[in-house]
Amino acid sequence: MQKQRTYLFFLGLILLSSFAIVRQNKASVVMKLLTTKTDFEVGQTVILQFSNTQEADKPLLYCSNSYGSTLITSTIKNNTLEYVIPENITKKIGVINWTILNANKSLSGTLHILPKAEVATMETYIGPPSIEAGGTDYTMLVVIPTDSLDNPVPKNTLVNEKHQFLSSEETHDIFTDKLIAYRNIYSKKESGRMLVSSESLGINSKEFTINVMPAIPTGFTISATRPHNYSDGNQITTFTTSIIKDEHNNVVSDGTFVTFFITNQEQYVLKTTGTTIDGVATSKMIHPDYADTWSIKAYVDGMSESNSITLSYKQVIEDFEVAFSEKNRLITVGPLQSFMQQMIPDGLHIKLKIYKDNILVETLTKTSFNGYTTFKLKPAIYSHGNYDFSLETAGVAKQFKTIKLW
Amino acid sequence: MKETSNKFLIAALLLGLSFHGSSIFFTLETTYDALIHLFFADHYANSWFEPWNYEWYTGFTVQSYPPLVHQTIGLLSLVGGLKFGMFSVALIAIVLFVTGTYRFSLLMTSNKTVAGYACVLAVFSSSFVETLHIFGQLPSIVGVSVLMHALPEIYLWLKTGRKWYLATSLSLIAVTVTSHHVTPIFGMVFFIFPLIGMVLMDVSREQVNSMKEVTFKIFLNSFFKLFKRIVSFGMLSLVLIVGCIFPYWLNSKANPITQVPIPHGSRDNFLEITSSGLVFFLIPWGILLILLPYIFYRYYSKRYLFFGLSVTICTILGTGGTTPVPLKMLGETAFNILTLDRFTLWASILSIPLMGEFAYRFVQGDLKALIQSKFGAVYHRIIGGILAGLFVFMVVFTMSLNYFRPSQPQKIKMLPIVNFLNQDDHDKWRFLTLGFGDQMAWLSAQTNAMTVDGNYHSARRLPELTTRPIERLENSKFKGVAGIGSLQQFLTTPEKYNLKYIFSNDKFYDPILYFCGWQRLRQLENGIMVWERLNIPPVSAILPKEDVAKWLKIHWGIMPFLTVLIAFVLNIQMLFVIALKTKEKPLPDFLKFPISYNKFNRNVLRIIHLWSLVLAGVVFYGVYLFYIKNESQLSPENAIIAYYDALDFKEFEKAHSLIDPSSNIPIAQYMLEISVTDGLLSSYAKMDAIETEITAVNDSTVSAKVISQWITPLEKIEKVDYKSLSKIKGKWFLQPDDLNNDLPPDQLYSDNVTKYFNQGRRRITTEATHHEDILKQPVLEVVSAKLVHYDGSYAIIGEVQNIDNVPSDVILKGTLYNDDNKQLATYNAKYHVKHKLMPKESSSFRINFEGIAWSKTQDSIPDTFNPDEFTPVEFEEQPTKFNLQIAGNVAGTDLYKNVVLSELKIKDSILEGNLFNSGIQEITIPQLLITYYDENKNMIWVDHLFVKAGVRQQRKQHFDYTILQSGKVEIINDSMKNIFVNGLPNEDISDKIVPNRIIDHTNAQLQPIEHPDFSYIKIEINTYIGSPN
């Protein structure tokens, strides 16, 4: 038993020592880069070759570009180690850094993937999509011509910027720099629609549209049209501007908001508004129901204004009749007659103020119908006694003192 | 002896299933709660183990409600959809309830026939009908039914001490807990404690010869004898109540209900608010009200003494705010959290066995004999007919309550909304529904889109909601000032909640949406109007959630069904025994205490008669009062109230019938006159209160001053009308009002306008909108802006102009800072700005800084409604600087500008004038923005006025505005430095587009006024078009 153990011990010892020898045989071998080329055109197959004497040793190659990093295994051909850089890395232009992951001594280097001088697609951006006429505002066209692998083309590749505006068609040469080509396209004096495109190495971009909008409006004039000049409180006066233009003689864009301020005889400021169509803003105003003189001026707030015009409205009702009946409790106003003695259109306001002992009891307002209005004073509300009445319509007032209700 | 099937029970089951089972399809979806449970079920169906739900309240946990019923519906929904699940569970609930009442009644009465009577009557008991068909409280029904199933088991455990019964009773308690948390807790008090008392009585009874001999001493002895069993059952069920829904309790502790209590009808004074009295007292009691003396008489007999106490307490608590007793019994907190109608429900369920007993004795027992001997057979039949008639009436009335007083809006087809949300990434924003009622839960169940609102108020988290007594924003118009106030906050600053779309089923909210800067998108085919707000960022991809430990999620997901499984295994054997009668079983202990029904107490009969007479008297008096109050032509006041009510509810035929017939206005003419008036008051107002002052009286003519208060979404309006009434043949009639005879000159009008259309994406694709298709944001310019302090509140005022060439939607956001650049408050412009500006149009604006209303003064929430209520934010420090961010987006709608200020007069600080509508759209609500200037024409304040009536095409509308009271406006800061337009500095933009701006251009056209603090005003007009065409 004892002997057996001793033999086993020695046998084990011998086995262990054999391993130690194997270990010692593995001496370091100097790996060397054989590939000398460091610049490749994008899309080419890139193979890195290394000299290698030992077949067993195949270290990994770590390589990275701006997309990310990866590890590559090698194959051995004719005693050289070959590393094939994967396509997804060689497809992209830029720098590839590589490192051999070797325990003893690491080899590393840099490769450059260069762009191809071909254009497959044009990546184009333009903005803003609308600019102001006048020559100071501009839109910027950015073109990124890219090759079939979606890489930007080499520096100083020619790009033609083309645009059409009104009757002019222009072409400009621009060159790519730092992957892109760009140009600021300035507006002209006129407003309108500008179509923009670009071309590089025979490939054309699609069409882009830039709206050149008119600049801010300048002074304009206003006029008024009305069916008659009577203050009937019914007809409508229309105010119209001249064609509003900007300083470059462009008609302002549709929808431009114009405010007409009307100052009446009592210095109250009324207003009406309108929006332009083809530069002309129209705005409506109902006639006053009493004689008045208006002074009208229109504004585009903060930007431009019109001349001031004056309109007068003549009184239509100079006088009206009032009849008391049914124990003075039924007050009939009318006939209310207009300028040709026709009945005034329905809706004229008639105000009745009722005073008792010189104190205003109530104000009743009614509208005329077929030229007449009646007020009915109910005994339940207005008890027997003497009242004063005041009737007002169309700016005319009539007083009735001490009317007895019973 | 072979056990026979109880024919009554089978009849009850068949009747219950056919009656309720067929009617739930017409009622359940319109109940208050059913759809909420459906939403929870949908949550479980989609994510069983994840308790966090993002869809409501910006996220909440479903661990805030016991899960069993929801999970069951969720599980069944995988078979046949959510509604299949819901109806299946409802059917199960019906079976459980009927069998539960049978077993409970059998336990109580020890008589199978009586128990049979009871369970047949229970099928039609109005409280059950109401709970199922009107409230839709499925978990509550399942909970109480399972509890009733547990009661015999508990009795047997206490009585016999057999461990088997302990296991079965506890297993059923566990199911109760997982289906409804409140039921077992109060069930302990109101069902199990009296049951323990009854067991003790029975045990004591066995020691002596008759019930009369049971003394307190014997009772106490039995108590000590059974003490161990009682305590062990009590402790174990406590463990189950806590353990089975442990995550719920944990969540309640983590998120205690700190919110303002929500008013509930069951806390009202039922005599004052009769509708609450009807729903929460009269209906659940139903026919039982007549039997009350019998119920109390029987429950106060020695054996049932403790049930007597229990039913008394439940009855009293169920009266809500009618008497001060419930408030004192429960204390302030519990009173305001609990809904008290559940006590009435329990009281009525406790009474079911006795209802059965009464019916038995009346139909074939000693009561029949007594009545027939005393009053004769005919009388018995008549009484029977009356009772049966009343019983049937209560059932029919309860079932049809929803028909007569719909608690929900009409059923809304959800598919168009679901499709809309799925379109074009619309579900990347939150949405809000208005006027959907509880159907919003059904919408939520069908879509993944999130809403800021929700329908389970205990889970609310946003302080804007928890500080107010409102359940949801959805129905805020019914919640008065607090509701509209909350809603306005969400509408004014929607970007805070990523709220972009609103589905409106109620025209009432349209004006507030418009004036808060929302725009109509389109009407879906189901009639729902979609509103959208521009410039809202989408919901971020990763949202915060309150996570819980994994074991809690697993516990929550597994435990409920585990309890059901265990209960099944333990109880199924017994169920089979009952159903199949395979095995002879010893008589259960509770059947050993039968009562012989041979002599009905004459005094009780007398009292029932008396009580019935009293009830009948009360009913007739109530009907009489109702008649006096509602007979519309009995007095001038009644006529006026009836007339205004009719107008409020748009019952024009009724309103017309109250108009003096001698005035000869045919209904067609009357309708025409009414229909042409549009506006805030006639289209968007709800009458809140009405007061009539009779100013002059003689026999047949009266003049009345009618002061009516109207609620509109924008403000509260007080309207004073003068009406005259005449009495004709004993009836009062109103005199018709005078018509405005205004007549425009032309019949046909033409108008040219520039219209805009933004087609969104040009190409049909699911990809993100192409950059070419994104419109440039219109350039705006802030002409002036300043921070001012007036009348106790801070505001940013100023003027903004659209200097671009396209119309713009304007959103203004102001932020206030103190000297140390600490942000103090931020808010958006509400309705003090024209939100839509044409090219070159300008608008004055004011940004108020609103706090979350009443967040500090929870107790002093006013009862009266005032949507215009403004709570200035409380600043801890003095704001000294401000930042203004303006965003413009191309607008294509709501650009109507044809409104003219055609007449103006200022007299004694009243500004009177006329608006003239010069265009071809009817203006529904005109709004005036009045800007005040000081003597140097510096802008210092902006005010507004909503004109109450609309303006028809080519017609005038009078308005009057009271100029503000004197008060100095303090200008704190008028630096234009921190103003940004579309993210760019204001100054740079204005220098580029309008380099030579004419400063204060239109200041020459300001209207001078006589006022100590203000010298000039400017009036701008904004219009809301209710139905553009």
**pLDDT tens string B361-390:** 898 888 888 888 888 889 999 989 999 999
A8: in domain: no
A205 and A129 within one domain: yes
A-facing residues of B in 668-707 (CB < 8 A) are 695-698, 701-703
The domain boundary residue, chosen from A114, A130, A147: A114
A246/A284 same-domain check: yes
Cβ atoms of B810 and B798 within 8 Å: the answer is no
pLDDT for the residue numbered A27: 45
pLDDT at residue B86 tops 90? yes
Position with higher pLDDT, B351 vs B650: B351
Residues of A in contact with B905 (CB under 8 A): 266, 268
Of the pLDDT bands very low, low, confident and very high (cuts 50, 70, 90), residue B164 is confident
Say if residue A300 is in the same domain as residue A228.
yes
List of chain A residues whose C-beta atoms are within 8 Å of the C-beta of residue B802:
257
Q: Do B898 and A284 touch (CB under 8 A)?
A: yes
- Residue A13: inside a domain: no
d(CA B431, CA B681): 28
Residue A22: inside a domain = no
Residue B967's beta-bridge partner residues? Answer: none
Domain check: are A141 and A105 in the same one?
no
Residue A207 sits at the chain B interface (C-beta within 8 Å) = no
Distance in angstroms (rounded) separating the CA atoms of residues B553 and B854: 37
Of the pLDDT bands very low, low, confident and very high (cuts 50, 70, 90), residue B860 is very low
Is B110:B595 a contact under the CB 8 Å cutoff? yes
CA distance B500 to chain A (A): 26
CA atoms within 13 A on the CB side of B892: 11
Q: How far is A205 from chain B (nearest CA, A)?
A: 14
Q: What's the CA gap between B354 and B182, in Å, rounded? A: 25
- Residue that finishes a domain, picked among A89, A114, A139: A114
Average pLDDT over residues B787-808: 90
Residues of B in contact with A381 (CB under 8 A): 695-696, 703, 724
Would residue A360 count as lying in a domain?
Answer: yes
What is the model's pLDDT at position A10? 73
Cβ distance of A253 and B740 shorter than 8 Å: no
B329 vs A404: CA distance, rounded Å? 70
CA dist., res. A188 & res. A249, Å (int): 12
The answer to whether B719 touches B640, Cβ cutoff 8 Å, is: no
* A278 shares a domain with A247: yes
Ramachandran region, residue B361 (left: φ > 0; alpha: ψ -120 to 50; beta: rest):
alpha
Best of B663, B737, B840 to mutate (most A CBs within 10 Å, chain A): B840
- Closest CB to A257 among B740, B841, B903: B841
- Tell me: do A306 and A363 sit in the same domain: no
Based on the domain organization, do A227 and A308 belong to the same domain?
yes
- With tokens 């008297």, the residue in question is B617
Distance from CA of A107 to the nearest CA of B (A): 44
Please report whether residue A144 resides in a domain: yes
> Is there a single domain that holds both residue A141 and residue A205?
yes
What is d(CA B769, CA B774) in angstroms, rounded to the nearest whole number?
7
Beta-carbon contacts of B195 under 8 Å, excluding residues fewer than 6 positions away, are B151, B154, B155, B158, B306, B307
**Mean pLDDT, to the nearest integer, of B22-29?**
89
Cα distances from B624 to residues B254, B393, B617, B627, B628, in angstroms, run 53, 20, 10, 5, 6
Interface A-B: count of C-beta contacts within 8 A: 168
Question: Would you say residue A343 lies in a domain?
Answer: yes
- A249 and A299 co-located in one domain: yes
pTM of full prediction above 0.80: yes
**Do residues A128 and A201 share a domain?**
yes
pLDDT recorded at residue A29: 56
Q: For every one of its 406 residues, what pLDDT tens digit does chain A have, with 9 covering 90 and above?
A: 566 777 777 767 666 665 554 444 444 556 778 888 889 988 888 888 888 766 567 788 899 988 889 999 888 888 888 889 988 888 888 899 998 887 666 788 899 998 888 888 888 899 889 999 988 899 999 999 988 888 888 888 899 999 999 999 999 999 999 889 999 999 999 999 999 999 998 889 889 999 999 999 999 999 999 999 999 888 999 999 999 999 999 999 999 999 999 999 999 999 999 999 999 999 999 999 889 999 999 999 999 999 999 999 999 888 888 898 888 888 899 788 888 888 888 888 888 888 888 888 888 888 888 889 888 887 777 878 888 989 988 888 888 888 888 7
A231 Cα distance to chain centroid: 45
Per-residue confidence (pLDDT) for residue B870, from 0 to 100: 57
CATH number at residue A258: 2.60.40.10
Pairing of strands A39-41, A108-114: parallel
Q: What values do phi and psi take at A173, rounded to 5?
A: -95, 130
Which range (B583-592, B754-763, B813-822) has the least confidence? Answer: B583-592
E strand or H helix that includes residue B43: helix B34-46
In a domain, A9, yes or no: no
Average pLDDT of chain B?
86
**Residue B97 scores a pLDDT above 90:** yes
CB contacts of B803 in chain A (<8 Å) are 216
Span B395-419, pLDDT tens digits: 998 888 888 777 778 888 999 999 9
- Rounded to whole angstroms, how far apart are CA atoms B413 and B419? 11
Amino acid A103: pLDDT: 65
Encode pLDDT of B723-771 as tens digits.
888 888 888 888 887 777 788 888 899 888 899 998 877 877 777 777 7
Q: Which residues of B touch A129 (CB under 8 A)?
A: 772, 775-776
In this predicted structure, the answer to whether residue B854 has a pLDDT above a threshold of 60 is no
pLDDT 10s digits, B454-485: 888 777 777 777 766 677 788 777 776 677 77
Helix, strand, or coil (residue B136): coil
Number of domains within chain A: 4
pLDDT at B63 over 60: yes
Closest to B653 (Cα-Cα) out of B641, B640, B638, B642:
B642
Report all structural domains of chain B as residue ranges with CATH numbers, in order of start.
7-30+65-253+266-407+552-599 (no CATH), 631-734 (3.10.450.50), 771-1024 (no CATH)
Are A188 and A133 contacting, i.e. CB atoms less than 8 angstroms apart?
Answer: yes
Domain assignment present for residue A28? The answer is no
Helix (H, G, I), strand (E, B) or coil at B762: coil
Residues in A touching B902 (Cβ below 8 Å)? 270, 272, 285-286
Looking at A296, A313, A330, the residue that finishes a domain is A313
Q: Under an 8 A CB cutoff, do A235 and B745 touch?
A: yes
Long-range contacts of B858-865 (CB under 8 A, 24+ apart): B858/B260, B858/B467, B861/B260, B861/B468, B861/B469, B861/B481, B861/B482, B862/B481, B863/B480, B864/B480, B864/B481, B864/B716, B865/B480, B865/B481, B865/B484, B865/B688, B865/B711, B865/B716
The three-class DSSP label of residue B768 is coil
**Of A226, A234, A227, residue with least CA distance to A394:** A234
Amino acid at A162: K
Give residue B941's pLDDT.
92
Does the beta-carbon distance from A269 to B902 stay under 8 Å? no
| A305/A235 same-domain check | yes
- Determine, for residues A302 and B998 on separate chains, whether the beta-carbon distance falls below 8 Å: yes
Q: Rg of chain A's alpha carbons, rounded to an integer? A: 48
Per-residue pLDDT averaged across B892-898, rounded?
Answer: 90
Question: Are A297 and A252 found together in one domain?
Answer: yes
Interface of A with B in 288-307 (CB under 8 A): 288, 297, 299-305
CB distance B536 to B500 below 8 Å: yes
Alpha carbon distances (Å) from B642 to A309, B616, B672, B723, B987: 55, 28, 20, 13, 60
State the DSSP string of A152-191. Answer: BPPTT-EEEEEEEETTEEEEEEEE-BTTBEEEEEEP-SS-
What is the Cα–Cα distance from B43 to B61, expressed in whole angstroms?
10
Task: Report the CATH number that the domain containing residue A391 is assigned in CATH.
Answer: 2.60.40
Domain range enclosing A191 = 121-213
pLDDT of residue B857: 37
pLDDT at A363 (0 to 100): 84
Judged by CB atoms closer than 8 Å, whether chains meet at B740 and A285 is answered as no
pLDDT above 70 coverage of chain B, percent: 94
